[in-house]
Chain A
């Protein structure tokens, strides 16, 4: 393959070199977090983290561990830059989105450091394309201060059961309300739209419920517009963990298997909607 014949000398100028035999293992994951144009890339010896934020209220992170890459070389403890995610995805799909089975686009992603563009070498069927994408100063991602010790309620569900619910959500509702409780309805998604309200209840003993750990009843509302992009990550995933902490902050973690069966994670953090009024909360019929 042409990409592998690059000389060793070239590599020394790069602080980060990451190669994938199948670029889809990266592009599919990035599609799950593309709700804004810009993404913050943060690479450490552990792997790559890509962060997208919206109005400081929503943050999505995609994690690709170093082991997923065929080659992952990093010459510094931490490398960070910001790129236009839409442009990056266009480049990763430069040979066309749907390839014939067995044919994949190989990727070699290289970064020389601060001030340099992100260079992508993409190859498919003997044709090589070189893309250079301008990088920007990486912004500091919001620290949602979401730590496991503050988690009050946690459930892990098989994505299959949630996918349908999310695709049916009443989009005329401004908020998505999540209720987690040790007593019925256990885990409930609610919408309040123009034609009425809807509730999706998942009992704790459902065989879709892999883990149910709820200590106290919590009901929180989140802006529907913020959570809607997470549907893409849900669609790719096989399992999802839903956690809320004492402040009502929401963490959604999606376990995604890539084309080669390797596991990657996408995580969404969301702030609760501030305008919740206690008297609005609907009770069970």
Chain B
């Protein structure tokens, strides 16, 4: 693969790397016919991000070379710590870099990132990579009952009220109101925390669709990178969500790029389904509903059952894999058009398969023939060859 970016594109690319660095420690580079995908997933597999740059984004984009006969394009995995420093100072990149060339070459097992700067200066970085299968998560956002669309600025202004250290927030949607509030685990120190909540009328959004009233709790930190990227490109952000426990998807797109962040959400305890996977014990301390600081919060029209859903947590989206595999596994069953939580099946898989292969199993939920023709995944790449599924093995 060989591609060339011009000045402004380098900055956008760098911003994507910054956003991905908020998610995970590794960066997957997948050159495809559709474009170059940069992906990352966090260690708990509860957050996934993908930035897809179409060939139009580049001054030049070509896959593979004649000499690599029979070899498919290489998908490689880089350590984020080795890539991020190259794009660390975006203002300096904007000022100095005229062109950037990225190529993946087989003989050296290196990814070459070359910056052609002002004054004839050239900076060449040869980075080691691990060959890896593509990382993908399949997410049918069009099946999500709840959809919001707003300028990045609006979402940025909403999350601005929460401190940078805030880990998780809860997005509540009702037909009358969209609200955002911070979320703390552990009822005991509720008196020491400051609770913030803000509400917006559905009219404030460019697009508002509500299928099911919900409170979804997800990790804010992992989202900030995408919001920053969207703001710098003045792109609207779409939020696709469902009930608690189902993943939430934030996406932006324009003519030449698409970016998606998929975050797991805390499971709603009333619909608790799968038990814990055997090799990944998780905190199961039940928290009593009495810990909820009802008094310090404004009484609102939220339904009473939401309260225990909030407090009786299985695990946070940041940490435990319990929620995540089940949440992500549910995606698979969702595409079968089943509204019921097919918990038992998911449960069996969850107990026996490690999370990494869970992701892999999602990968191979490719656009199979079972799906309708009008099912279009908004962003995510897929491999249509069914036989590839068998030959792949889980990412180590």
Residue numbers of A with Cβ under 8 A of B are 161, 164-165, 168, 170, 185, 193-203, 205-208, 285
Would you call A200 and B123 a contact (CB within 8 A)? yes
Would you call B124 and A208 a contact (CB within 8 A)? no
Size category of the B interface is 20 to 34
B58-89 to A contact mask, C-beta < 8 Å, 1/0: 00000000000000000000110110010010
Would you call A205 and B120 a contact (CB within 8 A)? yes
Would you call A285 and B120 a contact (CB within 8 A)? no
CA distance A201 to B123 in the complex (A): 6
Would you call A200 and B119 a contact (CB within 8 A)? no
Nearest CB of A to B102, in Å: 13
**Given A164-B92, A285-B112, are A196 and B121 also a contact pair (CB < 8 Å)?**
no
Nearest CB of A to B106, in Å: 13
Would you call A199 and B124 a contact (CB within 8 A)? yes
CA distance A168 to B127 in the complex (A): 15
Nearest CB of A to B1, in Å: 15
Residues of chain A within 8 A (CB-CB) of B88 are 168
Identity of the chain A residue whose Cβ is nearest the Cβ of B78 in the assembled complex: A195
CA distance A20 to B110 in the complex (A): 55
**Given A168-B85, A195-B79, A196-B110, are A161 and B124 also a contact pair (CB < 8 Å)?**
no
Identity of the chain B residue whose Cβ is nearest the Cβ of A160 in the assembled complex: B119
Q: Which of B81, B96, B122 contacts A195 (CB 8 A)?
A: B81
Residue numbers of B with Cβ under 8 A of A are 78-79, 81-82, 85, 88, 92, 96, 110, 112, 119-128
What is the predominant secondary structure among interface residues of chain B facing chain A?
Answer: strand
Would you call B120 and A196 a contact (CB within 8 A)? no
CA distance A219 to B121 in the complex (A): 19
Residues of chain B within 8 A (CB-CB) of A168 are 85, 88, 123
Interface Cβ pair total, 8 Å cutoff: 58
Would you call B82 and A206 a contact (CB within 8 A)? no
Nearest CB of A to B199, in Å: 45
Identify 10 new A-B residue pairs, CB closer than 8 A, beyond the known A195-B128, A200-B124, A206-B120. Answer: A164-B96, A196-B82, A198-B125, A199-B124, A200-B123, A201-B124, A205-B120, A207-B120, A208-B119, A285-B112
Residues of chain B within 8 A (CB-CB) of A170 are 85
Residues of chain A within 8 A (CB-CB) of B124 are 198-201, 285
Nearest CB of B to A190, in Å: 9
Would you call A203 and B82 a contact (CB within 8 A)? no
Would you call A194 and B82 a contact (CB within 8 A)? yes
Identity of the chain A residue whose Cβ is nearest the Cβ of B79 in the assembled complex: A195
CA distance A161 to B117 in the complex (A): 10
> Lowest 7 CB-CB distances: which A-B pairs, in order?
A195-B82, A206-B120, A196-B127, A201-B122, A199-B124, A208-B119, A203-B120
Would you call A196 and B128 a contact (CB within 8 A)? yes
CA distance A115 to B126 in the complex (A): 56
Nearest CB of B to A8, in Å: 55
CA distance A185 to B81 in the complex (A): 28
Residues of chain A within 8 A (CB-CB) of B125 are 196-198
Residues of chain B within 8 A (CB-CB) of A201 are 121-124
22 A-B residue pairs with CB within 8 Å:
A170-B85, A193-B82, A194-B82, A195-B78, A195-B79, A195-B127, A195-B128, A196-B82, A196-B125, A196-B127, A197-B126, A198-B123, A198-B126, A199-B122, A200-B123, A201-B121, A201-B123, A201-B124, A202-B120, A202-B121, A207-B119, A208-B119
Nearest CB of B to A199, in Å: 4
